[in-house]
Amino acid sequence: DSLLADTTTTATCGYCATGCGLRLHLRDGEAVGLTPETNYPVNMGMACPKGWEALRVLDSEHRATHPLVRDPSGELVQTDWSDALQKFCDGFRKAQQNHGPESVAFLSTGQIACEEMAFLGALAKFGMGMRHGDGNTRQCMATAVTAYKESFGFDAPPFTYADFEQSDCLVFVGANPCIGHPIMWERVLRNPNQPDIIVLDPRRTETANAATQHLQLRPKCDLKVLYAITNVLIAEGFVDHEFVNAHTSGYDDLVRCVRDFSVESVAEESGLDAERIREAARTIGRSGAVSLWWTMGVNQSYEGVRTAQAIINIALLTGNIGRPGTGPNSITGQCNAMGSRLWSNTTNLLGHRKFECEQDRVDVADILGIDVGRIPTEGSWAYDRIIDGIRNGEIRGLWVIATNPAHSWIQRNELRELLGQLDFFVVQDMYRNTDTVAHADLVLPAAGWGEKDGTFINSERRYGRIKKVKRAPGLALADFQIFRAIAHAWGCGVMFRGWTDPESVFQIMKRLSAGRPCDITGIEGFEQLDQCGGIQWPWSTEDAQRGAPEQERRLFADGVFCTEDGRAKLIVDQITPTPETPCDDYPFWLLTGRGSVSQWHTQTRTDKSPVLRKLYPNQPYIEINPSDAARLMITNGGLVSVRSRRGEVTVRSAVTTSVAAGQLFMPMHYEEANVLTLSHFDPHSRQPSYKDCAVDLEPL
Ligand code: SF4
């Protein structure tokens, strides 16, 4: 198809937070094909199968092409936008009138553009009077956000992707970039230093197979092992005292805490050889440039924040921050999770301010030209508290945008029941066949990536462009246009009179960022983002006066952090007991996670591509160790029943040594996984702990 093109343009990929550049091949202004962009600093001509298939999933027969409303017989039937907007306003107004303004909430996403997130958050909170709204980033990034905020004073991932190529030692904790972030892994492979690669993971993943040291620890022992490594670093003289004294606080408390985690005792609890723990610590201590990377194996845990901070501590203790090849680096999941962190206006006020801070509210009101009284004085409830609110009748109306909680939320059967209790439930999505749409009273059809304009921010803080290169089908509209239409229908359109298009909102975001650690006042606009291959935040007016933005920049090179005293905090804590452990009735650990490079989240998009579907098993499966399979007489590919205290599912077995005996692994992409998971959360970040529950299984 690309041969038919008469011109090309570039855009950032709309799947994962790597943020690869794609070259879109256009004919008469419409995309007819794409290739990975060779001149983009992120991916240098590479893309994974999802990126290659990004256009294909727009043409699905399952697209939501018209607003849909549930009729008295329970069927979703087509309607027009005028009727849909009226019903939207009537439904939420009625709930607010009967049960108070805080009785309605929204659940947003890391999948829409920054300008759309800012519009949604401002519309819902300042225009419609909602206090509560959270994002599906609570399911993936909340732990990293909280960890960075507490340790650095700001949610500030310090790295740039060049660090993959410049480290002498890379440590991956609960991360499998070979399939989760394959282009980042390609950059590891380009590292000329023959680096040590240390992987902490209970599974022998693709990344663990490529590691020089795999610490195959028992589930939920990661914090203990990291403390034991810290203990060795201190005991064997690997601490960079000059850096620690000048730039951190909390060292004495840290020393006292980790003293309790002797290598021998942790080795016994975690199933590791003590010498392997020492060897990992010594490798970190002796390397000149160490980068430590984590993803969902850390974030999706009941003690994720402290685990992330144990990683941050190791980087700080050894002075591995702010230099090439270093950093405690959280890799984001969704294409615009970082945008959600800065601009969703949910638990943080726009630009990562505090709702609770009067000066912050005044500043935002001034910039937006609104009455400060319209800004809530408290942040939103977290996602799980909103769900509790539905359970106990405090939340009566819910608006879900570009996410699929009926599949993805932990212990999802209960959530599906709760969605049925709502007085009014609206889903805004590209597709009309998601698990969540099945429960909606009203469906608003949205344009997808490739059908609208805006910016995404990738894991290394790079703002990149997305572009409209296709018409959305039927009456589907860009989320931005839907928010504008709702603002007018609700009667608060005047508040958003300057929010005419994504670029005008980007200019508002620049003003909101001024003087903040995420300052982007130096970015001229969309055209400059195109020309520069994206720009990493911060990029202030003062930065811009020094010259053009460099392609790779990292934070904290000067050792000054965003805390009040400018020092990073070394934070340690007691170990928390695991809420549910294997027992006689449920003797296996169930681990969940990413299953394949070609699958994405709940498959709402990837399952619309015939090519991607061929690249992964179309039936749900569970990985089981050969010794367990033999004992239970389970054959590879046979059907098994898997049971937890929450429910039971039937899946196929995949007998493999990638899981240890006594453990099972099920990809999260199949809706069966969250029938089994246990609803428990990190107390600091409120992130669900998807990676640990007890199950039983038997052959069918
Ligand atoms: Fe898109 Fe991520 Fe694949 Fe890059 S690695 S092409 S950003 S899905």
pTM over 0.80: yes
169 plus 290 within the same structural domain? yes
Residue 95 belongs to some domain of the structure: yes
375 plus 240 within the same structural domain? no
| Residue in the structure block whose two tokens are 């179309």 | 618
Residue 469 belongs to some domain of the structure: yes
460 plus 599 within the same structural domain? no
- Residue after which a domain boundary falls, among 445, 474, 492: 492
Count of domains forming the chain: 4
Residue 562 to residue 556: CA distance in whole angstroms: 9
133 plus 169 within the same structural domain? no
- CA–centroid distance, 107 to ligand 1, in Å, is 25
- Residue after which a domain boundary falls, among 458, 492, 526: 492
Q: Pick from 687, 691, 537, 568: which is nearest to 309 by CA?
A: 568
Residue 571 belongs to some domain of the structure: no
Residue 170 belongs to some domain of the structure: yes
What is the residue range of 425's domain? 68-139+336-492
Residue 273 belongs to some domain of the structure: yes
Residue 570 to residue 572: CA distance in whole angstroms: 7
Residue 96 belongs to some domain of the structure: yes
Residue 535 belongs to some domain of the structure: no
114 plus 173 within the same structural domain? no
Which ligand 1 atom is nearest residue 335's CA?
7
Mean pLDDT of the chain: 96
629 plus 671 within the same structural domain? yes
Tens of pLDDT, residue by residue over 261-317, are 999 999 999 999 999 999 999 999 999 999 999 999 999 999 999 999 999 999 999
Which helix (H) or strand (E) covers residue 248, if one does? Answer: strand 248-249
Tens of pLDDT, residue by residue over 239-268, are 999 999 999 999 999 999 999 999 999 999
Tens of pLDDT, residue by residue over 174-213, are 999 999 999 999 999 999 999 999 999 999 999 999 999 9
Q: Pick from 204, 158, 159: which is nearest to 561 by CA?
A: 158
90 plus 188 within the same structural domain? no
Ligand 1 and 47: CB distance under 6 A: yes
Residue 691 to residue 115: CA distance in whole angstroms: 33
SS3 of residue 578 by DSSP: coil
Residue 22 to residue 20: CA distance in whole angstroms: 6
Which ligand 1 atom is nearest residue 52's CA?
6
- CA–centroid distance, 468 to ligand 1, in Å, is 18
264 plus 294 within the same structural domain? yes
Ligand 1 and 51: CB distance under 6 A: yes
Residue 195 to residue 31: CA distance in whole angstroms: 41
95 plus 43 within the same structural domain? no
Residue 279 belongs to some domain of the structure: yes
Q: Pick from 655, 648, 675: which is nearest to 592 by CA?
A: 675
- CA–centroid distance, 113 to ligand 1, in Å, is 16
Q: What is the ipTM of this complex?
A: 1.00
34 plus 83 within the same structural domain? no
Query: Which residues of the chain carry a pLDDT beneath 50?
Result: none
| 538 preceded by a cis bond (ω within 30 of 0) | yes
Dig out the tokens for 34 from the structure.
């794409």
Which ligand 1 atom is nearest residue 184's CA?
5
CB neighbourhood size of 33 (10 A): 17
- Residue after which a domain boundary falls, among 330, 360, 384: 330
The CATH number covering residue 678 comes to 2.40.40.20
The CATH number covering residue 265 comes to 3.40.228.10
The CATH number covering residue 19 comes to 2.20.25.90
42 plus 119 within the same structural domain? no
179 plus 32 within the same structural domain? no
Ligand 1 and 91: CB distance under 6 A: no
Closest residue to atom 2 of ligand 1, CA basis: 16
